[in-house]
Amino acid sequence: MHFLWAFIHCPLAVLLWTAPVLLGAGQRVSALRGCADTRQVYAEKGYSTANAPVSQISGEHLRLCPQDYTCCSSHMEETLALQSERDFLKAVEDGSQFLLTTFTQRHRRFDEFFRELIDLSEKSMNQMFTKTYGRLFTQNSHVFQELFVELRSYYSGGSVSLSEVLSDFWARLVERVFSLVNPQYHFTEDYLECVSKHAEQLQPFGDVPRKLRIQISRAFIAARALSQGLATGRDIVNKATKVNPECVRGLMRQWYCPLCRGMTSLRPCHSLCLNVMKGCLANQADLGTEWNNFIDVLYQVAEKLEGPFNIELAADSISIKVSEAIMHMQENSVSISSKVFQGCGNPRPTRSKRSSKDSEGNRRPFRTYTPEEKPTTAAGTNLDRLVTELKERLRPMQGFWVSLPHTICSEEKMAADVTNEDRCWNGQTRGRYLPDVTGDGLINQINNPEVEVDTSRPDVRTRQLIMELRMASNKLKHALTGQDMDFVDNEGNFSFFLFFLTPMNDSVESTVPLIGSSSYCILALHYELFIFVVMQTQWTFWTIPKAL
């Protein structure tokens, strides 16, 4: 009755009294807007919209997104969570594609070049020595063939000492050349063995063996270290980009919760994206220091290869240096033979005369090569160009793992621009994202508001990758000084021990393991036990502060 009187006599008052009720109803109606845009985007991703809501429904069933009015069913949320994981893995792969492509292609090109260089060096020697020495060379060609077999074995990762390879070569060669410069005598195997034992004292080849050993060792050690380093880089990238999907909630929340709210064009705030990515890539960021060291020393070895450790010059010089050594021994054959006879005894003269043809062949003078006869390099390839291209690609790799979250979040489709912080998805609705951006690495994720990360212990796989990088860097550092880490006495050296026990990578293109296959299984068992002890020690070390 009072309401009717008021409605007749005071319509304005009634309107003001009922306005909040009418407005609330209008808000609820507008809140329950349609889901056509969400259904369209969902369908474009290849999913069925048969059970997708046509208009917004209550979000009490949601587990990952805010439980507000939503366009997503439980099944849609689960589907989009899996999609966010796939999107993340693809973003990481795309972001690291430059690394993977560079390491894979550069390793293949350098490997092909180095192998071709060895082949051409042997081919050139065979052609020129056959032309110069004729039957004297062909009858003793196996001595030179064995040298190149061992050089290939060393480059391929075999447990071969270059110093021993070259020492054995010169020992075999001095026996052959000594017989050739003294055709009037018959030498038994024991006598020739005596000759080779006195070779170091007599120096029948002058200073050539020492010079060639230094040149070959430096070049081949650097070449093998570079090739194996590139393979290691490729394998590290492959392993590091296979991330564990422990951050699905954060990924779903930033990329697809806006879709469930019907805000299909709203991208996550840049800072929100950074926090999610830093949480998801925390372990990769911990690779940063060792990764940068690895890239730096790989760059230095590449520089050495185009300078004092040039393998092109080393491979070219084998034939020339060997020819010079033979010439030196021939020119000093009288004094050398006299000293050998004093130390090993007088040899027995030959019983029968050689044919005139043989004598003429054996008297053929040894000589060095003219410039036009010198060996050719690998056809169509230039080491300087290969090294220059590699160095151009290595520099941008510094700091890659720490900067990867920024790289991903800088993509237009991944997050809003950093200048658009007020018109972006902040994890709940449209608006500015207020939390601070966390630091890099596992230890800094303890207060990450977007991703729950277990910072109580280091990730075992990440520790293993760090150790692989450290071992590869040590090998490259030794190569910088012309030393092969495989043959340096490092008893008690932690990295050296792990280097030999590291299991062979399961990649098809991996380098040959440096340990024999017969002992590999035993060493692998020791490796697993050793890693277990190391990890336990590291875990204890990391948890001591908390215990205190």
Per-residue pLDDT tens digits for 434-472: 999 999 999 999 989 999 888 888 889 999 999 999 999
In sequence order, what DSSP letters do the residues of 423-448 get, joined into one string? Answer: SSB-SSSBS---SPPP-SSGGGGGG-
Query: For the chain, what's the residue count?
Result: 548
Fill in the amino acid letter for 22.
L
Are the beta carbons of 449 and 275 closer than 8 angstroms? Answer: yes
Residue (of 465, 476, 464, 461) closest to 230 by Cα position: 476
Amino acid (1-letter code) at residue 147:
L
Phi, then psi, of 157 in degrees rounded to 5 = 105, 10
Kindly tell me the burial class for residue 319, based on how many C-beta atoms sit within 10 Å of its own C-beta (0-12, 13-18, 19 or more).
buried
Q: How far apart are CA 84 and CA 14, in angstroms?
A: 52
Instruction: Provide the percentage of residues in the chain whose pLDDT is more than 70.
Output: 77
**pLDDT category of residue 198 using cuts at 50, 70 and 90:** confident
Contact 365, 132 (CB under 8 A): no
The predicted pLDDT at position 241 comes to: 79
Phi/psi zone of residue 169: left (φ > 0), alpha (ψ -120 to 50 degrees), beta? alpha
Average pLDDT over residues 4-26: 44
How far, in Å, CA of 322 to CA of 169, rounded? Answer: 10
CA angle 221, 222, 228 (to 5 degrees): 90
Q: How far apart are CA 181 and CA 363, in angstroms?
A: 8
State the pairing for strand pair 348-349/185-186.
antiparallel
> Using alpha carbons only, what angle is made at residue 293 by residues 296 and 236, rounded to the nearest 5 degrees?
100
What pLDDT digit, counting tens, does each position of 106-131 carry? 999 999 999 999 999 999 999 989 99
DSSP conformational letter for 373:
G
Q: What is the pLDDT of residue 32?
A: 61
What does the pLDDT look like over 351-409, one tens digit per residue?
Answer: 655 444 444 444 444 444 444 444 444 445 589 999 999 999 999 999 999 999 999 99
How many angstroms separate the CA atoms of 477 and 299, rounded? 11
How would you label 122-154 residue by residue, b for 16+ Cβ within 10 Å and e otherwise?
bebbbebbeebbeebbeebeebbeebbebbbeb
Question: In this structure, which long-range contacts are made by residues 164-172, counting pairs with CB atoms below 8 Å and at least 24 apart in sequence?
Answer: 166/209, 166/212, 166/213, 166/216, 166/217, 169/143, 170/199, 170/205, 170/209, 170/325, 171/196, 171/199, 172/143, 172/146, 172/196
Residue spans of the domains in the chain: they are 2-75, 103-224+309-379
Is the model's pLDDT at 292 over the cut of 50? yes
Three-state DSSP class for residue 480: helix
Distances (CA, A) of 290 to 173, 442, 473: 45, 15, 8
Q: What is the mean pLDDT of residues 209-234?
A: 96
Amino acid at 163: S
Residue 454 has a pLDDT of 87
Who wins on pLDDT, 390 or 245?
390
Q: 527 falls in which pLDDT band (50, 70, 90)?
A: very low
pLDDT in tens, 266-290: 999 999 999 999 999 999 999 999 9
pLDDT band at 236 (very low <50, low <70, confident <90, very high): very high
CA distance 307 to 435: 52
pLDDT, residue 531, reads 47
The Cβ of residue 240 has, within 10 Å, a number of other Cβ atoms equal to 23
Q: Judge whether residue 496 has pLDDT over 70.
A: no
> Where do runs of H (alpha helix) occur along 45-96?
74-95
Whether 142 shows a pLDDT value over 50: the answer reads yes
Residue written as tokens 């009288």? 334
Q: What pLDDT score does 21 carry?
A: 42
The candidate with the shortest Cα–Cα distance to 38, out of 23, 53, 24, 19, is 53
CB 330 within 8 A of CB 204: no
Angle of helix 460-480 relative to helix 494-501, nearest 10 degrees, comes to 110
Give the least confident one: 69-73, 100-104, 120-124, 418-422.
418-422
Q: In the predicted model, what is the mean pLDDT of the chain? A: 82
Residues 39 and 49: their CA atoms lie apart, in Å, by 6
Tell me the pLDDT tens digit for each residue of 37-92. 999 999 999 999 998 999 999 999 999 999 999 999 999 999 999 999 999 999 99
